[in-house]
Structures are given as structure tokens and as C-alpha cells.
Structure 1
Amino acid sequence: MASTWRIGELCRRTGLTVRTLHHWDHVGLLRPSARSSAGHRLYDEGDVDRLYRIVALRELGLPLETIGGLLGDRTPGGPELAELLGDHLAHVERQLAALGGLRDRLATLVPLVRSAGGATPVDLLAVIEEVSRVDDTVRNYFTPEQLAALDERRARLGEETVRGVQDEWPTLIAQVQAELDAGTDPADPRVRALAGRWMELLEAFHGGDPGLRDSLYRMQAENSEQISQQYGGPSPALIDYVKRSVAAG
């Protein structure tokens, strides 16, 4: 028997709001396939597939009017979904390291969809939830103006430079962690050189803007455990070690 979801359950599973789904229903972007005997909206597996497409295209920066024109009445599943997941993945990989969880989910789904010709509603619901959660986290710490400034700096630096900075972080974190584990004095020249590079990479992110820097530090401080577990980010002890090394410089 095909699965169906009421609007409240769909919102709980995806992180979207009832107001958002009502609006998308009103403008004809996502209309539920059925109603219960009591008149409640019921969303089926095809609706979940369409919902994922809407969320993914919105993440790629398209307005709702354009999304509606692109989707039309297309049948869910198949190669089209694989292509959309691939585009979504490429977009996510250009974003901040905080989006790593979403990137990993999509990286898993793309080959599955390409090989199997579709993704299960459970998979798509999980991706939608991840998109909503990460978006909310970023908006809690950065203003729209700050995010626009980050996009502008990213475009100015170029994707190759940004990717190089992102790829360098895991190695640098491991090198500093090794010195901390070995009990090396933070004033040691070797640690000071690593701490100096650490600060250079941070500045590549905030560009010397004190507001961006403070927002970044606050996000790290308030989500340090989650960042460390999910994205391999530095622990509070490691950050303190770097700060002591910089202060000793």
C-alpha cells in the first residue's frame, strides 16, 4: 500500500512549515494528491518527489515562479531526478563547510538514483530535513548582508581557491591536534607556524570583517560538539590551544 503523509507529519519530517506548504498549495506549486474524509491534505510518494525538486531548485536560487514552470506536470523519478540531485550536490559542495551533512546525503543518493532509477520518499524526506536544518543554523548566525558579502568574496577568490582552503582544513586540524596530543608547548615555533596558518585560513573566510569573524566564532562556540562530530571540525580544546599559541607569538 502506498504511503501518504498528512501536512503536519510532512512538516515534522522535513523541517518545512505548514504555512510554506499552504502557500505552495495556493500558488499551485505543490498540491496534495488527495484529501482525507475530514478534508485534511494527504501527500503521496509522488508529492514527496515533487517536494524534493522544489526544495532543491529553491536551494539553487530559482524563484518559485521559475520552479513551477520547470516542473510542470512531470512524472517523478528516473534520470531527471538523478540530474537534479547531481546539480544540487555540485551547488552544496560550493557552500560553507557547515553544509557538509547535506553534501554527504546527496553524495549517497546520486549513485543510488542513477543505478536504481529513483529514490525512496524516506531518502528525500531526510534530504529536505537536512536542507531546512542547515539553512536555519546559518541564518541564526549570519545576516543576509553578511551572507551576500561571503558570496561576493567567494566569487572574487574563485572556486579553485575556495576549494583549496576547504581541503586544507582537515590536514591542518590533524597537525595541530597531533601537537596538542604530544603536549607540545603552544609557544613552540612549530605550533606557532601552524596557528599562523590557521588564522590565515580563517581570514580567507571573514576577510578581516569583525562582524563576520564574531559570527563565525559564535557559531563555532555554540555548536562545537555537533561540528566536531559531523564535519570533523576542531574541538574547543583545540581552538583554545591555537589561541594560546597566537597569544604567545
Structure 2
Amino acid sequence: MGDTAETGGLTVGQVSTRLGVTVRALHHWDGIGLARPSLRTAGGYRLYTAADLERLHRIVVYREIGLGLDRIRVVLDDSAADVPGALRAQRAQVAERIDRLRRLTAGLDRMIDAHERGPLLTAAQQAAIFGPDWDPDRTAQARQRYGDTAQWSQYAERSAARGPAEWQAVADAVAAFERALGDAMDAGVTPGSPAADHLVERHREVFAAYFPLTREMQVCLGRRFETEPGFAAHYDGIRPGLAGWFRRIIDASARARGVDPDTATWG
């Protein structure tokens, strides 16, 4: 095959390089009649003239702004086509897509922040919502301990979708549950009773604000409530002995549902 000077046109490969499109795309556009080369060599190879190249350039531009090939054909070949109108409509679609991507970017930024620091709240907001005794460093400690777990990812995803009002609702639900827990112990509710089982189920529902809690995971939490000083002090501060009683109602409910508290594991 000769060069451009000898043949009066550009080969498919040359056009592909010049316009930054694939040879396959050029063959496809030829096949559907969108952009056919005006010349052929003696051997039957496609050759594109300057006019062909101009049409191809317009196709590339229109395709880059999102027009489909059928719409491009109309814009190029229909003398009655409202080209400015078509471009304005496409511009509106591009603007909508940009706005959607901006919202997606903002959402991704929030999720990244939530993965790195938990609730997207200032220290003052956390104190107002979770109480003056709340330690903002607790979340960082939890991330260091659990940051590579599926539960932390679930917690972060929920955190990313919450503002102060949503977190206040979570805190209110937790506080109401803990009041009910203390009142039940005061009333002499026994582990394994319907009232105790109701509280155990309510705990799982409230805790789901952070991440889904299986019965086995709940048993593991119950152990920590009783044995870890921070948790035990929190619950025993509501009612003396509440941490141990809470664990007992969790264990009794688990046994009734075929979960052995002595062998339950997290996961």
C-alpha cells in the first residue's frame, strides 16, 4: 500500500493513529454506512480523503460528548436536523451526569471519612448527643482494633449516611433501651422469661444501627459487657449488677435458640 501522496488518501491505520480511534471502530462505522472511505486501492484497501477525515473528526467529537451513533447519523446527514437543539439536549444530559457524579464524589468522601473516623460529628456534637462522658478517642480505638473487619465497614457505611439528627435518634433509642433494661432487672425479670427474651431481641434491633448482630455475636458482646471494665462500669452505673444480669438474659435467650454460649464465637 502506498503512502498518502501516492494514493490520495489515508489508510485505516493512519486514520486510527491520527484520530485516536480503533481500526475496529473505523471498520464498524464503514459497515453501518456512517463513515465510508471514498477511495480504495487496487488491492481493495480503504483510503480516506480529507472530506472523509473531516466527517470522522465530527463523529469522534459527537461520540465523545455522548451522542449515540444513530443520533450522530441524523446530525450529520439530515439537513432538517436541529443540530443546536440536539447539542443543547446533550449538554443538559452531560450537566445532569456531572451533578450526579459530584453527588457521588461527595458520598464517597463521606464514606472515606467514616471509615477513617466513624461518626462524622464534631467533638462538640458528639458530647451533645452521646453525653459529656463520651470519649471521642473511643472510635479511633475501635477502628484500630476492628478496622479490618466486615462489621467496621458496615458501621462506617451507616455512619456516612447520618448527620447529627440521625445520630441523636440512635442515641435516644440506646438510652431508652438501657432504661428498660434497668427497670426490668429492678422488677425481677428472670433470664429465659418472655420479658427477658423481648429485651434481648430489642437489643439486637437497637444495635443494628451500628451493624447487624447475630445471636452468636450478641453472646460475645454479653461476655464483654460483664468482663471488660469499661462496659461493666457503664452498665453497673445504670444499676448495680446490671452487666452480669444482661449477660445472663442474653445467654438464656441464645440457649433457647440452639446457641451454646460457652462455644459461641464472633463472626
Task: Please give the range of the TM-score, normalised by the shorter of the 2 chains.
Answer: 0.3 to 0.5
TM-score by length of 2: 0.37
